[in-house]
Amino acid sequence: MERWHYALVLAACVAVTLPLELGLGARVYRRPWLVVRTLLPVIVVFVAWDLVAYARGVWWFDDGHILGPSLFGLPAEEWLFFVVVPLCVLLTYEAVGNVLRYGWNGAARRAPALRPTARAEVSHG
Amino acid sequence: MGEYTVLALAAPVAVIALELLVLRTGLLRQVRYWITIAIVFAFMVPVDGWLTKPEGTVVHYDPAAKSGIRAPWNIPVEDFGFGFAMITMTLLMWLWWQRRDHHAGPPPPRRRAPRTTRTAHEGDSSEMSHA
């Protein structure tokens, strides 16, 4: 179980933020192309920082607390970190926006059956 | 003061400059942005605290590369600079792409056609009532 320390905390992040998509209408996972375009530049910049820092010995990862697979010295968990954390940020931002705009109940009511075009129509109107 | 300290201070400045000088999404003026920062930082403490806990550390840091200030618990303060920059850049890209999609514009609205037809009908009916 020791080796799952990093992986489990990432899984917890995904699990904790999932209700924001399902219950507060965040609509992040439902816009995959927007997510991909948003994450790519973030990943390029911050993975570059991570790679340089790792190469220069600024930080390193404890072999006893990661699963093992790695790429360019960064463990698989560290690569996933740069997908999971921005997703959590986007889910939080969208959920906060919905709650501020529609209230808790309104955000919850918008959650399940919102059509993809509904928001575009609102912003055009 | 090490290289991580310097970069952790420079990165937020660079991202803010990116917004103010280039992207101009208006993110920094949004209340929901600052609420998001507060919430994400609140969750970052247990997550980062877990990764840097003294017993069973997942990520080790070179003491020479950072200030040595660890708060709360064992988290290097520099991580909050890294976090702020990453959170902010993510949201900037999110807004920037949406604005770009919006400006590219949807295809010409289809509802214009029925409206014209209805106007024509109204014209027809008024002509009919005159007749």
Distance CA A65, CA B51 (A): 9
Residue B131 included in any domain: no
Contact B2 A58 (CB under 8 A): yes
CB-nearest to A37 from B7, B60, B97 is B97
Q: Determine the pLDDT at residue B125.
A: 44
- B90/A86 Cβ within 8 A: yes
Structure tokens that stand for A21 in this block: 């998509």
The A-side interface with B (CB below 8 A) comprises: 2, 5-6, 9, 12-13, 16, 34, 37-39, 41-42, 45-46, 49, 53, 56-62, 64-66, 85-86, 88-90, 92-93, 96-97, 100, 120, 123-124
Q: Is residue B67 part of a domain?
A: yes
- Report whether B74 contacts B52 (CB < 8 A): yes
Query: In sequence order, which residues have a C-beta less than 8 Å from that of residue A28 and are 6 or more positions away?
Result: A20, A21, A35, A87, A90, A91, A94
Say which of A37, A59, A93 has its CB closest to residue B36.
A93
Instruction: Please report the residues numbered 76 through 115 in chain B whose beta carbons come closer than 8 angstroms to any beta carbon of chain A.
Output: 82, 85-87, 89-91, 93-94, 97-98, 101-102, 106
Average pLDDT of A75-82? 93
Higher-pLDDT residue of A65, A82 = A82
Instruction: Tell me how crowded residue B25 is: count the other CB atoms within 10 A of its CB.
Output: 19
**Does B16 have pLDDT greater than 70?**
yes
Least confident of A109-113, B8-12, B55-59: A109-113
Is B118 within a domain? yes
CB B48 within 8 A of CB B78: no
pLDDT at B54: 84
Where in the sequence is the domain holding B15, given as residue range(s)? Answer: 3-126
Q: Given an 8 Å threshold on Cβ–Cβ distance, is B40 in contact with A49? A: no
Query: What pLDDT does B115 receive?
Result: 54
Kind plus residue range of the DSSP H or E element containing B97 = helix B78-104
CB atoms within 10 A of CB B7: 20
Mean residue pLDDT across chain B: 83
Count of structural domains within chain B: 1
Structure tokens at B64: 């020479």
Answer yes or no: is B42 within a domain.
Answer: yes
Residue A112 has pLDDT above 90, yes or no: no
Predicted pLDDT of residue B82: 94
Flag whether B93 is in a domain.
Answer: yes
Q: Within 10 A of B21 (CB to CB), how many other CB atoms are there? A: 8
Query: Is residue B91 domain-resident?
Result: yes
Q: Which residues pair with A74 in a beta bridge?
A: A71
Tell me, what's the ipTM?
0.85
